[in-house]
Structure 1
């Protein structure tokens, strides 16, 4: 018997990285999975986003656990597309028990030089996309009188970061959104929480644009050199480590967690509020 037997989880940004890890972890605990991802590029994002092939690989990995997995191409910036994800999930699986609002992007620019579209893309994906995901599933959860929701924020929300003001603002907004929704629906059997990891070893961090930010004086900075720099600072979190916290929050043993913003940082958040 798995902790999540008979449950259905929707995971946004599920083509790879944290989303894929969470999907496989929840499936391993017995849940059927719906993963959605944009499957296309965004011009202001300086690395490749998850592809249709990545999404198909997530489906395969979930299938290896013995659970069902449905993949949907959808953009969290569009409420109609997220409503369609919820509607199709309910049509094919009968209900939604868990939402992981995980889809997110990263880019770097000084606020004094940031193009307007870079700001808008960040807020639209990392904050408004979370709202759209909540809005799509919460009415259904209220009708059923139960649900578990977890949104992916970041330690940067609490700390800020150079050339990441737009990212920090969006992720701080996620925390406020989570706490507000938790106030609204906690009495109806729905918990809403956020996880705030520090750097996680996914393509959002491990890409040439980040390598150049880390080593601006190096002509062709490498992945190996970037990993060495991260290791010197305490190392990157593995996606599976975040998935373990997600699994706690969405299981019965996580019922007492509601409106929480849980940092996973290996001590990097010492001194933050």
Structure 2
């Protein structure tokens, strides 16, 4: 079945690659035009490779393969003014906004006693303030449209603790609460707000030195390594698997689903 979001416009942050790209392409395949936002620059403090302008251009190319319009913007979601300007300009060109996917985020694993104030501040400002900024930039346009769907990408770490990730876990629990709080106040405008909580996903977040860092911190307390184990016999999932959930929440198939946590997590949060 195609056309599940036909005629709609979706704003997606962190859209240059990984989950963000998968969301953009999946929604475009089902008929949506796309506003694709990414910083396309070195991310603060992370051990993995950062997205590039070429990555965002590739996302745009893949969207256009589905004969959909796409507008890209290179900016940091922590900059509310720049984000509002980019979204307002894109909506003026595309005519409307119906779907917001707040996907941009970072992860900096470290044992609790190696977490610096800079790591904590960078994580919270990107993963929490950046998500709040995205809703604040997008929600007024959904009010104007008469309704819509806001999807906040959290993590399994927003449903249960993930060790060696105090700032990340804190941020993802905050995103879960933020979704419920926005859902309550935006319901009068027929806007639904939900959070998505994947298990580990095969994205560039696992590139660079990320695996070596995770291996080192787990070796420091191997008892906690099992907390990353999925209930289903898979090591991880693909971005397209999460995009299926995003499409469901963006479409009218979920028209009465709001203030919920949807977890394509392979059961990792069950033990």
TM normalised by structure 1 equals 0.90
Q: Does 1:129 align with 2:112?
A: no
SS of the residue 1:192 aligns to:
strand
Correspondence for 1:146: 147
Correspondence for 2:248: 248
| Cα distance in 1, alignment partners of residues 186 and 164 from structure 2 | 35
Correspondence for 1:261: 261
For residues 247-267 of structure 1, the C-alpha deviation after alignment (integer angstroms, 9 at most, x for no partner) is 111111111110111111112
| Cα distance in 1, alignment partners of residues 156 and 32 from structure 2 | 28
Instruction: Map 1:198-213 onto structure 2 (within 5 A).
Output: 198-204=199-205, 206-213=206-213
For residues 187-220 of structure 1, the C-alpha deviation after alignment (integer angstroms, 9 at most, x for no partner) is 211000110001000011x213222134449xxx
SS of the residue 1:181 aligns to:
helix
Correspondence for 1:97: 98
Q: Does 1:187 align with 2:220?
A: no
| Cα distance in 1, alignment partners of residues 245 and 15 from structure 2 | 17
Kept after mapping to 2: 8 A contact 1:9/1:96: yes
| Cα distance in 1, alignment partners of residues 210 and 146 from structure 2 | 43
What root-mean-square deviation, in Å, do the aligned CA atoms of Structure 1 and Structure 2 show? 1.9
| Cα distance in 1, alignment partners of residues 163 and 35 from structure 2 | 35
| Cα distance in 1, alignment partners of residues 153 and 80 from structure 2 | 19
TM-aligned CA deviation for residue 54 of structure 1? 0.2
| Cα distance in 1, alignment partners of residues 144 and 214 from structure 2 | 48
TM normalised by structure 2 equals 0.91
TM-aligned CA deviation for residue 162 of structure 1? 2.1
SS of the residue 1:72 aligns to:
strand
- Name segments (4+ residues, structure 1) moved above 6 Å: none
Instruction: Map 1:2-151 onto structure 2 (within 5 A).
Output: 2-151=3-152
Query: Which deviates further from its counterpart, 189-198 or 157-166?
Result: 157-166
